[in-house]
Structure formats: C-alpha cells, structure tokens
Amino acid sequence: MPEGAPDTVEQHLDRVLRDLEPLPVFPQPLMDTLGLACAEDITAAVALPSFDNSAMDGYAVVAADVASASDEFPVHLPVVGEIGAGNAQLLALAPGTAAKIMTGAPVPTGADAIVPYEWTDRGVAQVSIRQAPQPGQHVRPAGEDVAIGDLVVERGTVLGPRHLGLLASIGRATVRSRPRPRVVILSTGSELREPGVPLGHDSIYDGNSFLLAAAARRAGAIAYRVGILPDQPEAFLTALDDQLVRADVVVTSGGVSQGDFDVVKEALAPKGVWFGPVAMQPGKPQGFGFVGEDNTPIFTLPGNPVSSYISFQLFVLPALRKMMGMTPWSRPVVPARLTHAVTSPPGRRQYLRGEYVVDGGTVTVSPVGGPGSHLVGDLASSNALVVIPEETTAIPAGTLVDVLPLDLDY
Ligand SMILES: Nc1nc2c(c(=O)[nH]1)N[C@H]1C(S)=C(S)[C@@H](COP(=O)(O)OP(=O)(O)OC[C@H]3O[C@@H](n4cnc5c(N)ncnc54)[C@H](O)[C@@H]3O)O[C@H]1N2
Ligand code: MOO
C-alpha cells in the first residue's frame, strides 16, 4: 500500500500527547518518590528545630551566672542532672545551677546558653567553668530553620535527596505524587538473540530492548524488558495481551516498515493502531495507538537501533514525562556552534549524532559518525543530537545549530 505524505515530528508528537492523561496522584512512600514530581504544596507541620536544643555536648547554664568565668577565676556551679538527646527528664533549670546536656537535647526552661565540655573540668557533681558563653550561645532555637506553616516543597518540584531529607525531617512518611509509569518493552525480530548466547550466521543480539528499557528507567519509569518475540503476529498478540496487565505504556521495536515480515504492523494495524511515516531521519516509520481493555498507549518504534532510540527521545520520553506530571515534556533544544560542515537529504528532519561540549562560554557540537540508523557504536560515543531542518541540505562549519543534549536529567 502506498504511504501517505509524512507527518512532521510535531504532528506525530501531538498525536501521541493529545489523549494521554497524567497518571492519577496518590500518596507514595517517601523513598519511592525520589525523582518524581511532587503533586502537592507541602507545608511544615513541625518546626525545625522543633524545640530549643543544644549544639554542643556540655552544660546548660544561665549565661548571667557564668559571665565572669575565666581561666584565672573559674565559676563553680552544682550539676543538678543530665539531659540526653531523646532522654530529657530535667525540664527546667534553676539559676545558680548547671545541667549536663548533650548535642540535640532540649535546653531546659531557664537556661539560655551552653558551655562546651572543653571550657570546663567536666565535673559530675560540680563543674568548674573557665570561659563564659554569650546569652544564646550554642543554643539552636526552635523554628530557626523552618517554621510551622512554611511552604517547604512546592507542587511540581522534582524530588531529590535533599527534599526527601527535609520531608522526613518534618515527619512526612508519604508524598502525593504520580507513580512511575510501568513500561513494557517488546523486541520483535526472528534474527534476535539474547546477549550471552552464541550467534548464528544470520542472527544478532537484541540491543534495542536494553537501550529502550534503560532509557525508560532513566526517564523515571519502571521498565519491564520482555524477551524477544519472533516475526509471528499471533505470537506477538498473545505476548502483548499477557503483558498489558502490568503496562501503563507499551513500547515495541522492529516490524513497522515495508518488509514482508513486519509483524507489529501486521498485528496492530487491524486493531486501529496508526502507522505511517514521519519526516525525520532516523525514525521514519512510526506507529502509535491504544490497545486492550484499558486503552494502553503503545509506541511501535522502528527496529534500527538509532531510529528506536531517537524515536524514544522524541516521542516516548515526552509521553512518560506528561504521565508523570513533569515539565517540560520534551527535551529543550539549545544552540551550539557546529565544528564541521554537514550535509543532509531534503524532506526529512535529520538528527545527527554529536558531541556537545560546553567550555566556559563556548558551546560547540561536533558530528559523531555518519547518519546511518544502524550505527550504535557512534550513538554510544555521542551525547547529543544535532537537528538539521527538513529543507536544509548543507550547513557550513561555524554555524549555530539546534542541539538536543541527551544526558540531562530531563
Ligand atoms: N522498502 C523499505 N524498506 C525500509 C524502509 C522503507 O521505507 N521501505 N524503511 C527503512 C527504515 S527508515 C527503517 S528505520 C527500517 C525500520 O524497519 P522495522 O521497524 O520494520 O525494523 P526491522 O526491519 O525489524 O529491523 C530493522 C533493522 O534493525 C535491526 N533490529 C531490529 N530489532 C533489533 C533489536 N532489538 N536490536 C538490534 N537490532 C535490531 C534489524 O535486524 C534490522 O537490521 O526499515 C527500513 N526498511
Ligand atoms: O528512519 Mo530509518 O529510522 O531512517 O533508518
């Protein structure tokens, strides 16, 4: 069947994103939210510190009682008790007395300074103090860091280790966020073998399912890499059906172009999945639709490894980010100066592999390898894609071009 006019990258991205909804928000255990977008404004229910506490191991005192202390004329005070962190029975201190106190322990009412052990004889019944603290010295006041009601994490923040530390510190065990999408990855191709087994004369290793599963995981999703499927539509549909129960998204590789064994297209076109060309290279043959009872989105990516990876970056990644409530959905394009001239065939937006270098104020990109969509060695040596517009056929060295850096966190 003749193919229609190709869609633009933007048209296909719109097809993918328009009916995809963010996953529903629910409270998740704190550690599970690392790297997820917080879906609520979080205010502190607990102040930090939550009570006045000691910054030093030493003695809680009334500063005025020891103001005259010096090496020559130490001040002696009776020690009336000991206050440990998590073991504080002494709640108030009378003037003219001292209490041993440990770092983090609550400062008793009446005391207003801490004398570190180093300024004393570490006495047990009575202490000799050789140096005077200022009023308030070595006391960490309640609310100094965070007050009750402070907005500590804003909705939309992508949670990192420091946010999790703070949220735990204010007593949050869960955070409302969108879950990681579960992405099932299916590789099709009778030529494929699992790494680790011997190859035949006409077989190759299945690199794509690892490439795609790793990219999905890097995007914050949960990736299920399903074994290799042969070029048989029935077997493909059975495997797909088995997997749908654990999929928020399905990604397939291979079997979508014009071949005699294009299994994915053959199996899914009758089910209403869209297949067609997109004016890009690599990645021309694309497919997208919804399958199964739950209308699970399915991306059918081309089998050439570079095509698969670039298709993931351009279409699957924004979809996963939308589902996770993360913005921006698509990787931002940045300008960089091209170090070598490049050429490109007209009619398709070309994504060349490149090495992107930021050196002080200078940002350059050098082409890595050729345009072939089978060049996985070059793909692994690159860290960016150089975007060459559809109608541009040659770009001289030194031109500012659009670049998609690949190793950013988004
Ligand atoms: N007559 C035409 N032939 C082709 C066209 C076309 O328009 N007319 N388009 C070409 C383009 S562009 C691409 S891209 C590929 C896409 O083909 P498929 O998606 O059907 O992929 P396959 O044929 O299954 O495989 C293509 C290539 O990639 C290798 N491959 C597949 N799966 C994996 C994997 N999991 N790991 C590593 N390598 C994989 C496969 O062995 C093939 O070499 O079609 C062109 N043909
Ligand atoms: O579009 Mo294919 O992905 O050019 O090799």
Q: How many helices (H) and strands (E) does the chain have?
A: 8, 27
The CATH code belonging to domain 9-24+179-323 is 3.40.980.10
Whether residue 225 has pLDDT greater than 80: yes
Residue 270 Cα to ligand 1 midpoint, Å, equals: 21
Pocket of ligand 2 from Cβ distances under 6 Å: 281-284, 302, 304, 307, 373
334-405 in CATH: which number?
A: 2.40.340.10
Residue 44 CA to residue 284 CA, distance in Å, equals: 50
- The model's confidence at residue 88, banded by pLDDT at 50, 70 and 90, is confident
Check residue 3 and give its pLDDT. Answer: 63
pLDDT tier for residue 2 given thresholds of 50, 70 and 90: low
Distance 7 CA to ligand 2 centre (A): 14
Mean confidence (pLDDT) of the chain: 95
CATH 3.90.105.10 at 26-48+144-177, yes or no: yes
Q: Are 384 and 356 in contact (CB under 8 A)?
A: yes
* SS3 label, residue 128: strand
- Number of Cα atoms under 13 Å in the Cβ half of residue 144: 11
Residue 371 CA to residue 123 CA, distance in Å, equals: 78
Which atom of ligand 2 is the closest one to the Cα of 284?
1
Q: Answer yes or no: is the C-beta of 112 below 6 A from any ligand 1 atom.
A: no
* Residue 1 pLDDT: 47
Distance 39 CA to ligand 2 centre (A): 38
Omega of the bond prior to 328 within 30 degrees of 0, cis?
A: yes
ipTM of model: 0.98
Percent of the chain whose predicted confidence (pLDDT) is above 70: 99
Most ligand 2 atoms within 8 A of CB, residue of 7, 281, 306, 348 to mutate = 281
Ligand 1 centre distance from Cα of residue 251 (Å): 15
pLDDT score, position 409: 67
Instruction: Report which of residues 2 and 231 the model is more confident about.
Output: 231
Which strand ranges, in their side-by-side order, compose the sheet holding 274-277? 222-229, 182-188, 249-253, 296-301, 285-291, 274-277
CATH T-level assignment (fold) for domain 53-140: Molybdopterin biosynthesis moeA protein; domain 3 (2.170.190)
Q: Tell me the per-residue pLDDT of 130-171, one tens digit each, with 9 for 90 and over.
A: 999 999 999 999 999 999 999 999 999 999 999 999 999 999
CA 13 to each of CA 3, 106, 164, 312, 335: distance values in angstroms, whole numbers, following the listed order: 19, 57, 33, 11, 22
Q: What is the dihedral of CA 360, 218, 327, 316, to 10 degrees?
A: 120
Out of 300, 306, 311, 373, give the residue to mutate to test ligand 2, the one with the largest number of ligand atoms within 8 Å of its CB.
373
Domain ranges of the chain: 9-24+179-323, 26-48+144-177, 53-140, 334-405
Of 234 and 257, which is predicted with more confidence?
Answer: 234
Residue type, 384: A
Tens of pLDDT along 18-77?
999 999 999 999 999 999 999 999 999 999 999 999 999 999 999 999 999 999 999 999
Name residue 278's beta-bridge partners. Answer: 7
For ligand 2, atom 4, the nearest C-alpha belongs to 282
178 and 38 in contact (C-beta within 8 Å)? no
pLDDT band (50, 70, 90) for residue 300: very high
